[in-house]
Amino acid sequence: MSGVMTTREFAEYSIVRNLAGGGMTRLFVALAGPRNRVVIRLLTEEFARSHRARRSFFHSAEVMSKLNHPNIARLIKTGYEGHTPFMVLEYIESRTLRDLILYRDALLTQNVLSLMRQIAAALFYIHNSGFLHLDIKPENILVQNDGHVVLIDFDLAIPTKRWFKRIRALPGTPSYIAPEALTRRVVDEKSDIYSFGVTCYEMLTFHKPFEGDKIEAVRSMQIDPAIPPTRLRQHNPAVPAALESMVLKCLAKQPSDRYPSMSLVIRDLEAII
């Protein structure tokens, strides 16, 4: 990996700068030719030696290769450079939705319904294509300066089943994980709908549905059926009642009380002016 930064070359690409990274992967902006920018995502040296990590890394690329939607990042290619697995993704000039929330950016506050509808459209497409994303959160949503949304990071994506799928490890980030995944390790489309609801809640209120100083206390509130999320209009009275109802339905503790599909979420979102 040090060779990448020293020579500024990787495979047939010229590294321009670090973009981000954490955990198993690193991201770089690179040039493919004099003007064509791309993003190179690769496994760190440590994880590149792990068969499980390599399998997970290429699994996410395989999922992305089957998706073709304007609100989903496009995979260009995958491969190895020496012993380092990598993928090449389209470059998207953007900020994360997390950045917009942190700074209460006008791009978010003035276009919040449009952004929510685009995220919903991407998630509906993913489900219709036979997958669960399982990591919907503001960090995995890019927003371009014109308000166009792009969903990224399919590391946790799995094929959809006609029934709840039991998983070995908790998917995603705790605050965005549905109660049934926290307690019974089972997921389906409604688990993604819950994560979408948490994301929308943050977009509208700059708070999470359940907050506290200790992770254990927050998790307890997430899974306790007797503790509902704080109503959105307590944080932001300007939220329309219909929009608050839509988000709270996504956040229902019992999966059977949530929307059964993203198509109905989109229906209700489209009805809000």
User: What value does the mean pLDDT of the chain take?
Assistant: 92
Count other C-beta atoms under 10 Å from residue 29's C-beta: 16
How far apart (Å, rounded) are the C-alpha atoms in residues 76 and 111?
30
142-198 pLDDT tens trace: 999 999 999 999 989 999 876 555 666 665 688 999 999 999 889 999 999 999 999
The parent domain of residue 119 ranges over 95-270
Q: Which residues of 221-255 are buried (b: 16+ CB within 10 A; e: fewer)?
A: bbbeeeeebbebeeeeeebeeebbebbbbbbbbeb
Which pLDDT belongs to residue 2?
A: 42
- Are residues 127 and 46 both part of a single domain? no
| Contact assessment for residue 213 and residue 157, using Cβ atoms and an 8 Å cutoff | no
Instruction: Assess whether 239 and 123 both reside in one domain.
Output: yes
Residue pair 19/30 in contact (Cβ under 8 Å)? The answer is no
User: 37, 63, 90: which is the final residue of a domain?
Assistant: 90
- Say whether pLDDT at 5 is over 60: no
**What distance in Å separates the CA atoms of residue 248 and residue 94, rounded to the nearest whole number?**
29
From 105, 135, 146, 192, active-site residue: 135
Say if residue 140's pLDDT is above 50. Answer: yes
- 60 and 100 within one domain: no
- pLDDT of the residue at 35: 82
Answer with the one of 90, 124, 148 that is the final residue of a domain: 90
CATH of the domain at 129: 1.10.510.10
Q: Is 192 labeled as catalytic in the residue annotation? A: no
Residue-wise pLDDT tens digits, 126-135: 999 999 999 9
What DSSP character marks residue 72? B
Question: What are the C-alpha distances in Å from 223 to residues 43, 46, 217, 229, 242?
Answer: 34, 35, 10, 11, 25
> Are 116 and 236 in the same domain?
yes
